Amino acid sequence: MDLGGGWYRSPEGLDYGSGSAEGHRITHVMQYTRDNPAKPAHGVFDTGNQGVLETVDEAWNRRAAAVSVNQQGARTTYIIPMARQVGYNPGEEYISITVEHGNEVITAFPRSWN
């Protein structure tokens, strides 16, 4: 849903707006659809460009089952088990979502839990 001013709300209530080096949080999340050799610990969604935001929404819907919730100021990071492989790298069965002010996406990417 277009909220105006460059802000968009996902079906599960996550808000994506301007920010990050990429200029917009959707663009930032989409950088996790391809490998970046410059970042050694860079999770990559195994869906490619298709279905990434839907997968993030699915994780957000499961946030009550998070294995870790870390709050620092206005930002909260959830590590959410997905019960299936969601990243390209072995063991990436979790999604990390960082939000600000409750539902404004800062970043989201697949990861392992160790």
Cα separation, 77 vs 19, whole angstroms: 17
Task: Round the average pLDDT of the chain to a whole number and report it.
Answer: 91
Q: Which residue has the tokens 């990417």?
A: 109
Instruction: Name which of 46-50, 97-101, 106-110 the model is least confident about.
Output: 46-50
Percent of the chain with pLDDT over 70: 99
Give me the mean pLDDT over the 92-107 stretch. 96
What confidence score (pLDDT) does residue 99 get?
Answer: 98
Q: 72: part of which helix (H) or strand (E)?
A: strand 68-72
Provide long-range contacts, Cβ within 8 A and 24+ apart, for 1-4. Answer: none
